[in-house]
Amino acid sequence: MPGKSKDNNRKQVQYRAPCHDPRELDRVLKQTLSAIEEGKRQIFDIAENTRAEYERLQRELAEVHNEVKTVIELVEKQTREVQQARIRLAEVSRDFKNYSEPDIKNAYEEAQRKQLKLVELRNREKMLRYRRDHLELNLRRLDDIQKKAEGMLAQLSTVLHYLDGDLQDLGTRIGELEQIHRLGLSILQAQEEERRRVAREIHDGPAQLLANIVIRTEYLQTLMDAKPDRVREELQALRCLVRQSLTDVRQIIFDLRPMVLDDLGLVPAVRRYSEEFQRRHNLQVELLVLGEQRRLAAAAEIALFRIFQESLNNIQKHAAARRVLVKIEYLPQKINLVIKDDGCGFELEKVVDHPQEHGFGLIGMRERVKILHGELTIGSTPGKGTVINVSIPTEKL
């Protein structure tokens, strides 16, 4: 009897024939439709919130543009006033007979006051320019999110129409929906992981530095009254903290989306990221470019760059490699990307069978290549490194 019970349990676990039971298929179909409808509603909310935020940032950017223009005019005006004040100071300094010591002192103080105001205006101009650039970056990011959300809404609408219409081959369709569900989970997992990484980097970097800057600023206020001779020293330290914070923020922005990818293309972006990656992780990355370089469709360049970026991050985290070779080959009708490392390798079947533990990055690579009608092959043997080959046709892009 115990043995029979185990057999019955095993049969229940291994039951794989829902397509022979219409009621089971109907139940699964309804659950799937409900889940897709809910996902569609959530994506619609995301799209609407993104659109509202985009419009708000557009208004804010227009205001910043006006402020930048105004401040530039003030800087030019103040520059002329500083020049005039310097000329006046030079005149009274040369002619001691016609000008008294108070006149010289007043001219010097006036020139210094105008110079300080000019410095203040220039700093304000720099901050406004930085704010403008940051707003423009956010607008591009929100526009990309909005387009992706609209694309996903269209895809989900197609899926819903397909499922609500013809109910033949339900088993096959539910299998396809299961793949979509797994892909959605992998995307959400990757998004959450990226959010955690960015939040951690901001918390450990710029946030800590900004908190330190606030403390130093408060300390400066006390020094100005108690020990004014130490103010210069503290200001220099404060300037170093601000520079470090700006460097960290720029690095985070570069990791999220390097502007050089949009401006110059795939190879310059890969080369710059490789150099920065080598500097940070002490891992040799060799870049080899074959064929005549040319700009590709934005989707292809972004996909190839993200695959390259994900591969380097995986190598740094898991491979214990010393050297990485990245080869980009431009051919007349396609582009090939090869990433090879001399690390410890891995068991490919284990990663594919358990993506929630190991392979969400590989799933993302596969889906990016699939969307572009390309091919992705991965070869890895424990102890002998890993090779990733990507080939994307360019004539259809």
Mean pLDDT calculated for residue range 251-268: 75
Verdict on whether the full-model pTM lies above 0.75 = no
Could you tell me which residues come within 8 angstroms of residue 390 by beta carbon, excluding any fewer than 6 positions away?
A: 304, 307, 336, 337, 338, 365, 369, 374, 375, 376
**Domain CATH code at residue 263:** 3.30.565.10
Question: Rounded to whole angstroms, how far apart are CA atoms 221 and 213?
Answer: 12
Residue owning tokens 């310097």: 86
Per-residue pLDDT tens for 370-381? 888 899 999 988
pLDDT class of 9 with cuts at 50, 70, 90 = very low
pLDDT at residue 99, as a whole number: 73
Q: Are 346 and 382 a contacting pair, CB within 8 Å?
A: yes
Inside any domain, residue 172: no
Given a cut of 90, whether residue 101 has pLDDT beyond it is no
Inside any domain, residue 4: no
Given a cut of 70, whether residue 182 has pLDDT beyond it is no
Same domain, yes or no, for 146 and 234? no
What is the number of structural domains in the chain?
3
Q: Which residue did the predictor score with more confidence, 47 or 326?
A: 326
Same domain, yes or no, for 156 and 33? yes
Least confident of 67-76, 177-186, 265-274, 360-369: 177-186
Domain boundary (218, 235, 257) is at 257
Same domain, yes or no, for 373 and 263? yes
Is the four-CA dihedral 266, 267, 268, 273 of positive or negative sign?
A: positive
Q: Are 323 and 286 a contacting pair, CB within 8 Å?
A: yes
Given a cut of 90, whether residue 288 has pLDDT beyond it is yes
Same domain, yes or no, for 211 and 98? no
Q: Are 58 and 52 a contacting pair, CB within 8 Å?
A: no
Least confident of 24-28, 45-49, 286-290, 320-324: 24-28
Given a cut of 70, whether residue 244 has pLDDT beyond it is yes
Q: Which two tokens stand for residue 162?
A: 């397909």
Same domain, yes or no, for 343 and 241? no
Inside any domain, residue 178: no
pLDDT at residue 24, as a whole number: 67
Same domain, yes or no, for 249 and 115? no
Q: Are 326 and 351 a contacting pair, CB within 8 Å?
A: no
Same domain, yes or no, for 48 and 135? yes
Given a cut of 60, whether residue 117 has pLDDT beyond it is yes
Same domain, yes or no, for 117 and 251? no
Same domain, yes or no, for 266 and 363? yes
pLDDT at residue 285, as a whole number: 93
pLDDT at residue 180, as a whole number: 61
Inside any domain, residue 177: no
For residue 376, the surrounding DSSP H or E stretch is strand 375-380
Question: Rounded to whole angstroms, how far apart are CA atoms 342 and 383?
Answer: 8
Inside any domain, residue 139: yes
Per-residue pLDDT tens for 32-47? 777 778 877 888 888 8
Q: Identify the domain containing residue 221 by its residue range.
A: 187-257
From its phi and psi, is residue 200 left (phi > 0), alpha (psi between -120 and 50) or beta?
Answer: alpha
Could you tell me which residues come within 8 angstroms of residue 129 by beta carbon, excluding any fewer than 6 positions away?
A: 68
Inside any domain, residue 12: no
Given a cut of 80, whether residue 252 has pLDDT beyond it is no
Domain boundary (167, 197, 213) is at 167
pLDDT at residue 19, as a whole number: 41
**Domain CATH code at residue 52:** 1.10.287.620
Same domain, yes or no, for 35 and 163? yes
Residue-averaged pLDDT of the chain: 77
Inside any domain, residue 355: yes
